[in-house]
Structure 1
């Protein structure tokens, strides 16, 4: 029996040392992925601030939200002198606070635009092109998309909410790469007078590459929005070709969660990059549960509520980590992680490209999905029927989304399970790094 255990350990050790660690090292050397990670580092305070502003809009300023809504605390009805139902929705009070909420939703667009600008600067340095002209190309591409969008401001904000990182990645990469390639073509460079100021001479010299990039961005933006609003859009194609019963199967739901977490481990926003699948199946399921009495277990709110697994790691690190630095980091990130803002901990510990935490980081959310499916399938927890902002506090989110205290209990069970899963790996991490120098104590930081 002992021989089998030793053999299993060697096999696991071989997988870690022979496959996962070398792979993470190679991925860490990819300059493009490094530029994305560094953009996240620089954007972290902005991400936190904009997320908190957006959460404030949902929790405090939403006339149908937890504070003012009739289905929750109902302060809106109290403040309007007892108005209810249609009379409340037609009141000036409702219109005012609904306008404020929609106004704060501009944070979705700002988050995407600012991240794209930071990434553009990083890519401009990487591809050795003028960063200011590259920024002009990126910002112009955003303006073209906003102009081409046919919906109202609220619909535009919702559009960017799901695709924020995807659009930032797409626009910044496309515009900067194209401009860098065109600006190297000698026949596109205009002759300029040597008497001109340096910056003016440079911008005039690259006038044709800049113009071509802007024109391409314009055409691409209008083409992209046209496809997005048609039956050729990726969500429409997915919904048409794949039966919803397949998307509602536990195996597919676990696979969807696995892909999301694997993308995050690579340093990419898994929520945004898998949003097309979410929009094709889980958002319609959420709407059906809320409006037409659907019976879907896997919905957009289910996966939002299940995304607390990283909080389990933070607690495990705070309790079991031997390094004071990691314990302080966990305590520092804990308050914002309660609001489901996980990026600071994800990149600071880090989880990204960390071979030691890859297995539990993938395993914990997958088990959350399985446990959640069983709990709802057996009738222990109600369906996720109500749309709740993803940054709503943990436990409150599960309660509001199901309309029942058992939703909060399910999140508590998920959190407990995640702590159990992560703790052995935190202890192993302590053992493997205890002899390392302080400057090298977090192995994943090496470049």
Structure 2
């Protein structure tokens, strides 16, 4: 067993290091953070407009007016409908900082590059007419989730070219005494010209193809297949098995696997949110909300179930005290005290339920939604720290809250025999320590007069 663990560690640790230190994956991960708080705020207003309780509209309409629902949806549209713009700027900014160049200029240049490759037309059909017109406009279709993959690619490429030109010294040098902001502005002139020219040439070449623009090409041949692959039960299970193997070796599996998988989940979430906002049928089971609200409760390994078992059934002081300290953080999805305190890291006894419980959660939740027992997640962006039961109700109705409660109980059943093995082991160690302590003579307190 130990040889197998050593072999796994040799394979997974270098892989995690490569992924965890990759500048481009870090840029994508950190770049999305610029939009995350805005998406959560927008989701809050959308949630208020569609709060899942009966007669909610009848309660609010007398207070805010008959058009309050459309007004509440505006903040959501202002964030979700332009999420690609936010992602482009954030990714380029993050990569620019890592490449030691002007991060703000990197973000601005990436956004311009994205606009160059985006068709500035929207198809419009007048009322009572069948004729379709191409209207010059900023197409929200490509500013939202549909343009996300091209946005990520362009943000990385434009920033990399920008950095390469600067590092080669192809810049305008200003004399001493010129304000730093002016120096940076002129320093970026030639590199910006190079990047814009390259993007112009790419756009011109693509315009000669039957599809006419790069947005349609990327969406058809890259984004759609990737989303289809990511929106499968098999992909989710494989991702989570890797995630928990990384955690087993003390590596933050959520960061490593999430760097690759989360952009796909985010795009799927936005598709659901858009359908929910427009009153259409929600298309995707696998989303960011599915991952956050149904795969794990209390952090990686769904350790909230483990902690509840520890509190109720375990007798060793080590386990009971640790579980009491870890309960509140775990309710909000933070489980590092258990990961490193129990420990779960390099603990073969707990590895099986640690990987098994989230996998079972995923499978049961997937089929519960696929069979219509639980509604699909609505795409509402909640903080990942939202406690279970509440989170399920907000993203998928009361049925999801019931499912979450059942999964937590099922996780307790699976964890019970494994943690009891550890608890019995710790009890023996504590008893041996007490017996050893009792046998030792404390000469500082020993009364020699009684001899």
TM-score, normalization by structure 1: 0.58
Partner of 2:195: 213
Structure 2 distance, partners of 1:154, 1:391, is 29
- State which of 203, 215, 228 in structure 1 corresponds to 2:185: 203
Counterpart CA distance in 2 for 1:78 and 1:184 is 61
2:304: which partner in 1? 315
Alpha-carbon contact 1:50-1:111 (below 8 Å) kept: no
The equivalences for 1:277-356 within 5 A come to 278=268, 298=285, 303=290, 307-311=294-298, 313=302, 315=304, 331-332=328-329, 334-335=331-332, 337=333
Residues 172 and 298 (structure 1), Cα distance of their counterparts in 2 relative to 1, 3 Å cut: closer
Query: Does the 8 A contact of 1:138 with 1:171 survive in 2?
Result: yes
Paired with 2:222 and 2:409, the residues of 1 have a C-alpha distance of 37
Partner of 1:18: 10
Q: Are residue 156 (structure 1) and residue 173 (structure 2) matched? A: no
Query: Is the aligned partner of 1:272 residue 2:263?
Result: yes
- The alpha-carbon deviation at position 382 of structure 1 amounts to 1.7
Show CA shifts across 1:10-49 (max 9, x none).
Answer: 3542344332234334544445555666x37x949x83x4
SS at match of 2:144: helix
Secondary structure at 1:311's aligned position in 2?
coil
- For 2:220, the equivalent position in structure 1 comes to 232
Could you say which residue in structure 1 is the equivalent of 2:373?
Answer: 382
Deviation at 1:57, TM superposition (A): 1.0
| Contact in 1 for aligned 2:305/2:408 (Cα 8 Å) | no
Residue number in structure 2 paired with 1:136: 108
Residue ranges of structure 2 left out of the alignment (5+ in a row):
125-136, 244-252, 311-317, 427-451
| Aligned-partner Cα distance in 1 for 2:320–2:153 | 39
Equivalent positions of 1:396-415 (< 5 A) are 398=392, 405-415=398-408
Match of 2:43 in 1: 55
CA drift of 1:98 comes to 1.3
Counterparts of 1:70-109 in structure 2, within 5 Å, are 72-80=53-61, 93-108=65-80
Q: Which of 249, 255, 265 pairs up with 2:235?
A: 255
CA distance in structure 2 between the aligned counterparts of 1:114 and 1:95, rounded to whole angstroms: 29
Aligned in 2, Cα 1:75/1:383: closer, same or farther, shift over 3 Å? closer
Q: Kindly tell me: are residues 221 and 106 of structure 1, through their superposed partners in 2, closer, same or farther at Cα, counting changes over 3 Å?
A: farther
Q: Secondary structure at the match of 1:232?
A: helix
Deviation at 1:179, TM superposition (A): 0.2
Name the counterpart of 1:370: 363
Aligned equivalents of 1:327, 1:158: Cα separation in 2:
49
Equivalenced residues, count:
371
Cα distance in 1, alignment partners of residues 335 and 236 from structure 2: 22
Alpha-carbon separation, structure 2, partners of 1:117 and 1:326: 42
For the 8 Å contact 1:124–1:130, the answer to whether it is kept is yes
TM-score by length of 2: 0.58
Structure 2 distance, partners of 1:419, 1:307, is 15
Bigger radius of gyration among the two:
2
1:183 Cα offset (Å) = 2.2
Q: Distance in 2 between matches of 1:148 and 1:311?
A: 45
* Aligned mates of 1:216, 1:265 — CA distance in 2: 33
8 A Cα contact 2:294 2:365, kept in partner: no
1:66 paired residue among 37, 45, 51: 51
- Looking at structure 2, the residues matched to 416 and 154 of structure 1 have their Cα atoms a distance apart, in angstroms, of 50
